[in-house]
């Protein structure tokens, strides 16, 4: 990116070289290679952000700078002061001397943490206390912008970059003004960096409002000039990097973008070159990449910028950031070498673990609709891997040779829901595309899109869901599954439609699969809304409860052999998770027992196996990975907590490539799971003692000495884990008072009431998300006795009234223990309150965020809970011509219209009715103890109420909105009754649409 301007700059650079202006350089012309390359997941994937806000204890939303100290604590600077992170929560630093705008946090080579501010100047942290440095220490400018370390023959040198008085360096604990300050131009300085081999010699670089300046050891400051280089409104940051023996200087310039200076010349990225979303960049860091290269990360006003192989990617709120404005960025390496980026944004703090997440967001195609609907990884004619992604609303994306190409519409359709690589009728490998309008396309190696004439009709909701190609009798034939018209075969140029005799109404076919038995017979299988279908070479037959299926509304399908090599069909379903069918004898298939680990959701879209035996199950609540273990499977569920952009998968949008990487389309975009990137974490995280307080006052001794009398102790501790802190657990036990540890909890503190006199040791243990135990903390506690508890008093008491003293001491001990138990009871009650709050949050998950009515998941669960024999009616409601409404007035108006429709529906339902958003513009209403005539009256009221709506958008009236509704009524005694109720209501709704819309149609069956 930016090659146009970069090329001009290089030509001028070579001219300067000829005259010896810049020292020795060499230019290498760009070359084009066609080496076969696998998909680079580092380039493709987006980082996964963990975010922290004021809800996590931050004192305010705006943060400016962030840094990790030598102990592993994370500090953040804000416009008002400092805060630090204890592994669970953030805490504002209560230090009046350090209040003000914190411009930079810095950790020097000795591990000292420094804070630069425009108010107090400079402060350092020795691990326990902060110390402000100023005029008495030789620092005469209190507006310190930045600290930088450089190399000298004597070791490291620490520099302070001040806004008004130039550079200061630290020498034996005092600050000295740099003698060369007078040579720098008048104005403010902002950045400093050191290069060692760039242009063949060591150079010190300084940047600010006066441009870019440099000096060699023993020399004077000289201004850097180069054709095309624009210093903009001032240089903000300098970063010196070294990669593969080559050094470079990266320069961020306000209103001019980003520049890289190396031995080949200048390279420029900016808004003008089309590479950056903003020219306002702040600081930068460099991280190693899996290919041995280097990535540059920059904070900016419009997201996190990454430059990799000179290509720019920007990650913003769409990828999980809370704010696009990133003010500060820092890199911390964990003890095991993991690169952790911390981001200070204008709406909290974010964290990125670089390169170790198994899950990566690859594309956000379709995120404004229902995400990615199809995915394929194949190879181009040169053998290079490429990635295809079909979406809802954003068309087709193709990633090839390190670049995305987008086809926003295929034949006028922005929905691409099927992508397959299969032979055409001439036996040539071809990419096939199915669109949301039911059209079929072929794509050749030159990326020419060719429509395929098809015989099926195109009613509303028609789409091509799946296809396969096979050779039968020396001929290549293609099979296609449609969403409204069943199955079609193309053979020798002739189309044939297929439909089982027992199919009724709309036959929605989701997936096709071929099987060849040991006797050489070829079979086909298909999943549909009416069960499993089998093709014996002549006709299709529907199979359902006769082979033991618990339900017939099926989704995806895969053939995965079991441990004995038997062919097992793994079927996705809408209400019963994964269903397995033994297809060893296709004429007599039978359903296997449901003994798999429980899925995270009853709606399972598909199951897909990789070469190592892992099976991925995509559901509406995350991806479940089953790993073979002890004759069964070990289950692990991945959600947004693990880096996914959305928990809900799309059917027919899963793929395992030749490297064992699992790709899946979700409502939020395309994800990939790379098992090879998942490194086992066996590292014990540091457990730190934060603070000990006695009666609310801090105790600073290593041994806690408790004077006689009643005193309350509180001990706070932290596990400094850099991922999944919510899974950190702690337990404690007080040696000398109890003999066994307590339960593992999330509490990172221990409160101790009055203790009997004696010596105790508080044992503090912790484990991280991976179960790694940390080195425990042992805290000695000495409780002093009262005067009457000392040895000489005991002798006196024994002489006077030994028996009485013994009785009193026993009573006292029991009283103290009762207080201890009471305190523990209060803690238990507090834990119960937290559990109740979590239950309330679960209740919120049953509602649709847009309309406020229940969601489809709660509707399905409510149907399951209805008492046996209950008479129920179900109304399916669809907003007429809603896609056209969205196209004409926009999605914001569409969202407003859906809320209005939902409110109109709710006005006319009984108190015990359940109104739910079924999906998109569809709603459903479950009426308990309600027959068909009553339901029809209610539905008619709904229809009339909606027809009277005058939906407005941006203050202007839009056209009338109408609905079509289908009604069904049935006694619910079995699971089949529930599915029939859903099916009949759906059929009635389609009948209402076929009858001209804005009407009600209903049906009733005798149970």
Distance of alpha carbon 766 from alpha carbon 749, whole angstroms: 11
Residue-wise pLDDT tens digits, 445-498: 889 999 999 999 988 889 999 999 999 888 899 999 999 999 999 999 999 999
What is the distance, to the nearest Å, from the Cα of residue 140 to the centroid of all Cα atoms in its chain? Answer: 47
Q: What is the pLDDT of residue 631?
A: 87
Q: What is the pLDDT averaged over residues 954-975? A: 83
Position 805 scores a pLDDT of 67
Mean pLDDT of 248-255: 93
The pLDDT of residue 230 is 82
Percent of the chain with pLDDT over 70: 93
Pairing of strands 385-391, 372-379: antiparallel
525 — pLDDT class (breaks 50, 70, 90): very high
- Lowest-pLDDT choice from 252-256, 732-736, 802-806, 916-920: 802-806
Residue 434 is encoded by which pair of tokens? Answer: 């199915």
Q: Which pLDDT band, with edges at 50, 70 and 90, does 954 fall under?
A: low
* Angle, helices 856-865/975-994, rounded to nearest 10 degrees: 130
What is the pLDDT at residue 837? 66
Q: Are strands 704-706 and 777-783 parallel, antiparallel or unpaired?
A: parallel
pLDDT at 8 over 90: no
Whether residue 514 is predicted with pLDDT greater than 90 in this model: the reply is yes
Distance CA 529, CA 851 (A): 28
Question: Per-residue confidence at 27, pLDDT binned at 50, 70, 90?
Answer: very low
Given the DSSP bridges, would you call strands 348-354 and 339-345 parallel, antiparallel or unpaired? Answer: antiparallel
Are the CB atoms for 804 and 788 separated by under 8 Å?
Answer: no
* Range 393-404 average pLDDT: 94
pLDDT score of 10: 35
* Residue ranges matching CATH 2.60.40.10 in the chain: 687-844
Residue 802 confidence (pLDDT): 61
Q: pLDDT of 364-378, one tens digit each?
A: 999 999 999 999 999
pLDDT in tens, 302-355: 999 999 999 999 999 999 999 999 999 999 998 888 899 999 999 999 999 997
Q: What would the mean pLDDT of 907-922 be, rounded to a whole number?
A: 90
Architecture per CATH, domain 362-677, reads as 7 Propeller (2.130)
> What pLDDT, on a 0 to 100 scale, did the predictor assign at position 277?
95
Of the ranges 92-101, 841-850, 881-890, which one carries the lowest mean pLDDT score? 841-850
In this model, does residue 643 exceed pLDDT 60? yes
More confident residue, 108 or 30: 108
Per 3-state DSSP, the chain is made up of helix, strand and coil in percentages (nearest 5) of 20, 45, 40
Return the pLDDT at 761: 95
Is the domain covering 140-275 a CATH 2.40.50.430 domain? no
Phi, psi of 129 (to 5 degrees): -135, 155
Q: Whose CA is closest to 549, among 513, 577, 514?
A: 577
Handedness of CA 845, 846, 852, 855 (dihedral sign): positive
How far CA 234 is from CA of 5, 156, 255, 279, in Å, comes to 20, 28, 8, 12
State how far the Cα of 502 lies from the Cα of 21, in Å rounded to an integer.
86
Question: In the sheet where 487-491 sits, what is the strand order?
Answer: 464-472, 475-482, 487-491, 494-498
Contact 690, 707 (CB under 8 A): no
Region 548-571 average pLDDT? 95
Residue ranges of the chain assigned to CATH 3.30.70.270: 854-1004
Whether the model clears a pTM of 0.75, i.e. scores above it, the answer is no
Q: How would residue 291 be classed by pLDDT, with cut points 50, 70 and 90?
A: confident
User: Which segments of the chain belong to CATH 2.130.10.10?
Assistant: 140-275, 362-677
Q: Mean pLDDT in the chain?
A: 89
pLDDT given for residue 866 in this prediction? 84
Q: Is the pLDDT of residue 36 over 60?
A: no
How is domain 854-1004 classified at the CATH fold level? Alpha-Beta Plaits (3.30.70)
Model pLDDT, residue 29: 28
* Annotation: CATH topology of 687-844: Immunoglobulin-like (2.60.40)
């Amino acid at each position: 990116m930016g090659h146009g301007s970069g090329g001009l700059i290089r030509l001028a650079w070579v001219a300067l070289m000829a005259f010896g202006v810049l020292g020795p350089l060499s230019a290498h012309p760009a070359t084009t290679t066609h080496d076969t390359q696998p998909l680079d997941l580092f380039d493709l994937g987006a980082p996964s952000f963990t975010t922290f806000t004021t809800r996590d204890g931050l004192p305010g939303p705006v943060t400016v700078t962030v840094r990790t100290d030598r102990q592993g604590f994370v500090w953040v600077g804000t416009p008002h002061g400092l805060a630090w992170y204890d592994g669970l929560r953030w805490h504002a630093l209560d230090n009046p001397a350090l209040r003000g705008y914190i411009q930079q946090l810095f950790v020097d080579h000795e591990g000292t943490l420094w804070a630069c501010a425009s108010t107090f100047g400079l402060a350092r942290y020795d691990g326990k206390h902060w110390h402000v440095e100023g005029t008495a220490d030789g620092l005469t400018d209190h507006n310190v912008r930045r600290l930088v370390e450089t190399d000298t023959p004597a070791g490291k040198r620490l520099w302070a970059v001040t806004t008004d008085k130039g550079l200061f360096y630290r020498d034996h604990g005092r600050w000295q003004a740099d003698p060369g300050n007078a040579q720098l131009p008048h104005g403010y300085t902002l950045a400093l960096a050191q290069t060692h081999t760039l242009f063949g010699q060591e150079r010190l670089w300084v940047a600010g409002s006066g441009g870019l300046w440099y000096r060699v050891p023993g020399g004077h400051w000289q201004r850097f000039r180069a054709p095309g280089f624009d210093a903009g409104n001032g240089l903000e940051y300098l970063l010196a990097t070294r990669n593969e023996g080559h050094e470079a200087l990266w320069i961020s310039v306000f209103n001019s973008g980003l520049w890289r200076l190396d031995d080949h010349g200048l390279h420029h990225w900016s808004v003008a070159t089309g590479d950056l979303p903003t020219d306002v960049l702040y600081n930068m860091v460099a991280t190693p990449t899996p290919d041995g290269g280097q990535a540059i990360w920059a904070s900016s006003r419009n997201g996190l910028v990454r430059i990799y192989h000179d290509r720019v990617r920007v990650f913003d709120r769409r990828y999980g950031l809370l704010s696009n404005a990133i003010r500060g960025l820092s890199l911390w390496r964990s003890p095991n070498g993991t690169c952790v980026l911390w981001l200070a944004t204008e709406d909290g703090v974010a964290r990125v673990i670089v390169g170790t997440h198994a899950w990566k967001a690859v594309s956000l195609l379709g995120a404004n609709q229902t995400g990615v609907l199809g995915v394929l990884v194949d190879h181009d004619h040169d053998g290079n891997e490429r990635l295809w992604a079909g979406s809802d609303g954003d068309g087709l994306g193709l990633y090839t040779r390190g670049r995305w190409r987008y086809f926003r519409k295929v034949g006028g359709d922005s929905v691409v829901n099927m992508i397959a690589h299969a032979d055409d009728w001439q036996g040539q490998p071809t990419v096939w595309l199915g669109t949301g309008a039911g059209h079929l396309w072929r794509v050749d190696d030159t990326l020419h899109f060719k429509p395929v004439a098809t015989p099926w009709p195109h009613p509303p909701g028609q789409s091509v869901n799946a296809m396969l190609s096979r050779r039968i009798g020396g001929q290549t034939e293609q099979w296609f599954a449609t969403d409204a018209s069943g199955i079609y075969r193309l053979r020798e140029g002739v189309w044939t439609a297929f439909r089982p005799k027992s199919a009724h109404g709309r036959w929605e076919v989701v997936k096709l699969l071929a099987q060849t038995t040991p006797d050489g017979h070829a079979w086909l299988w298909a999943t549909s809304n009416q069960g499993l279908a089998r093709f014996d070479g002549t006709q299709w037959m529907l199979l359902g409860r006769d082979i033991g299926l618990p339900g017939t509304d099926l989704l995806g399908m895969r053939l995965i052999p079991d441990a004995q090599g038997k062919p097992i069909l793994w079927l996705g379903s809408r209400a019963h998770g994964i269903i397995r069918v033994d297809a060893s004898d296709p004429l007599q298939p039978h359903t296997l027992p449901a003994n798999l680990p429980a899925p995270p959701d009853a709606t399972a879209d598909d199951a897909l196996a990789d070469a190592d035996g892992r099976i991925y199950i995509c559901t509406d609540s995350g991806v479940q990975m089953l790993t073979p273990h002890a004759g069964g499977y070990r289950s692990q569920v991945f959600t947004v907590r693990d880096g996914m952009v959305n928990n809900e998968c799309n059917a027919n949008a899963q793929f395992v490539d030749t490297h064992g990487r699992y790709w899946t389309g979700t409502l939020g975009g395309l994800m990939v799971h790379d098992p090879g990137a998942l490194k086992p974490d066996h590292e014990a995280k540091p457990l730190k003692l934060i603070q000990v307080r006695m009666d609310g006052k801090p105790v600073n001794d290593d041994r806690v000495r408790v004077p006689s009398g009643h005193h309350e102790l509180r001990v706070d501790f932290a596990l400094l884990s850099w991922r999944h802190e919510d899974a950190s657990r702690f337990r404690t036990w007080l040696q000398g008072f109890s003999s066994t540890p307590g339960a593992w909890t999330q509490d990172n503190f221990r409160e101790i009431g009055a203790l009997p006199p004696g010596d105790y040791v508080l044992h503090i243990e912790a484990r991280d998300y991976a179960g790694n135990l940390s080195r425990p903390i042992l805290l000695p506690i000495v409780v002093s006795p009262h005067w009457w508890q000392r040895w000489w008093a005991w002798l006196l008491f024994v002489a006077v009234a030994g028996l009485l003293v013994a009785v009193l001491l026993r009573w006292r001990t029991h009283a103290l223990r009762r207080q201890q138990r009471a305190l523990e009871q209060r803690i238990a009650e507090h834990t119960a309150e937290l559990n109740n709050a979590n239950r309330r949050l679960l209740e919120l998950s049953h509602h649709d965020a847009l309309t406020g009515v229940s969601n489809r998941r709660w509707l399905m669960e409510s149907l399951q809970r209805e008492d046996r024999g209950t008479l129920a009616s179900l109304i399916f409601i669809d907003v007429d011509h809603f896609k056209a409404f969205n196209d004409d007035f926009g999605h914001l108006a569409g969202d407003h219209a859906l809320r209005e429709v939902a409110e109109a529906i709710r006005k006319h339902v009984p108190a015990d009715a359940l109104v739910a958003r079924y999906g998109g513009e569809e709603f459903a209403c479950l009426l308990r103890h309600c027959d068909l005539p009553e339901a029809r009256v209610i539905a008619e009221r709904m229809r009339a109420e909606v027809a009277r709506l005058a939906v407005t958008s941006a203050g202007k009236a839009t056209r009338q909105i109408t609905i079509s509704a289908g009604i069904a009524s049935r006694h619910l005694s079995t699971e089949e009754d529930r599915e029939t109720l859903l099916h009949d209501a759906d059929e009635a709704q389609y009948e209402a649409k076929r009858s001209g819309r804005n009407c009600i149609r209903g049906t009733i069956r005798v149970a």
